[in-house]
């Protein structure tokens, strides 16, 4: 099961041209959805205007080498390892993030390079595909059932669903359907193989077609916001916020009454 390219096995039902076209369509849906989201929320306009304000209030001008160092450090620490998160939340996020990247990347590789009848699939890619799907399911499920902020902070039930949950739920559903589809394919259950392939395709349509209504586009904004924040710290503008007080933090006894559960 885990060493078999599921896209090659299904190519008798769905042609390689269809699968490649489907991938291109998903990419276009992400681009269109992200652009619409930016136009609606005006994120890019905010970043540019905020950057202009920061330059006016900057007290120093970091050199190109320092700026490059800050960007590299931000990418390697804040983005690739999500250092702003802690504990279980960070582990769940990393599982979901890297699992999804592995899952999507190997899907594209196997569809575009290993669906021809005269090419044997490198077994590494199917293994990584299954591993990525499982990591995505594990990280997404862990987040959904145990770590969502509103579940703890506002005492909502785990099954409460809002529009913003579209991304994580469709992501988890897609990874689960992929594993189930691969299982039925491995035992040569033709009917369920076709059914779960269709469900897997529909789930991808929901995932990538729902970019505008979900938090999918958030992953594109977050790196830019993190880099801008660290550059503002370096030039002294601090996003027009005051300097931190040179005094010990005082929160009173209230903070000791209950252990924090929100993050």
Q: Running DSSP on this structure, what letter comes out for residue 76? A: I
pLDDT tens sequence across 172-201: 999 999 999 999 999 988 899 999 999 999
pLDDT category at 251 given cuts 50, 70, 90 is: low
Give per-residue pLDDT as tens, 215-238: 777 776 777 777 777 877 777 776
Look up residue 164 and give its two tokens: 């913003």
- Give the model's pLDDT for residue 263: 47
- For 52, the 3-state DSSP assignment is helix
Confidence of residue 142 (pLDDT cuts 50, 70, 90): confident
Non-local CB neighbours of 18 within 8 Å, separated by 6+ positions:
none
Task: List the chain domain ranges.
Answer: 6-237
- Mean pLDDT on 124-149: 89
Determine the distance from the C-alpha atom of residue 14 to the mean position of all C-alpha atoms in its chain, rounded to a whole number: 28
Cα 232 from Cα 222, distance rounded (Å): 15
Q: Distance between CA 2 and CA 249 in Å, rounded?
A: 53
Rounded Cα distance, 137 and 64, in Å: 41
């Amino acid at each position: 099961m885990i060493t078999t390219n599921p896209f090659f096995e299904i190519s008798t039902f769905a042609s390689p041209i269809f699968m490649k076209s489907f991938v291109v369509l998903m990419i276009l849906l992400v681009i269109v959805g992200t652009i619409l989201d930016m136009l609606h929320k005006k994120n890019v306009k905010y970043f540019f205007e905020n950057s202009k304000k920061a330059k006016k209030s900057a007290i120093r001008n970091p050199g190109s080498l320092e700026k490059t160092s800050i960007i590299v450090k931000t990418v390697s620490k804040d983005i690739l390892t999500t250092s702003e998160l802690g504990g279980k939340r960070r582990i769940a996020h990393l599982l979901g993030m890297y699992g999804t990247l592995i899952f999507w990347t190997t899907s594209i590789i196997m569809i575009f390079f290993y669906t021809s009848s005269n090419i044997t699939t490198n077994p590494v890619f199917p293994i990584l595909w299954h591993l990525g799907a499982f990591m995505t399911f594990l990280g997404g499920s862990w987040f959904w059932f145990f770590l969502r902020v509103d579940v703890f902070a506002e005492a909502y039930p785990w099954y409460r669903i809002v529009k913003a949950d579209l991304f994580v739920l469709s992501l988890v559903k897609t990874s689960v359907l992929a594993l189930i589809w691969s299982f039925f394919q491995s035992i040569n259950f033709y009917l369920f193989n076709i059914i779960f392939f269709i469900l897997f395709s529909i789930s991808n349509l929901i995932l990538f077609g729902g970019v505008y209504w979900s938090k999918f586009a958030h992953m594109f904004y977050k790196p830019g916001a993190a880099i801008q924040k660290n550059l503002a710290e370096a030039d002294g503008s601090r996003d027009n916020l005051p300097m931190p007080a040179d005094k010990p933090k005082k929160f009173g006894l209230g903070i000791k009454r209950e252990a924090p559960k929100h993050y």
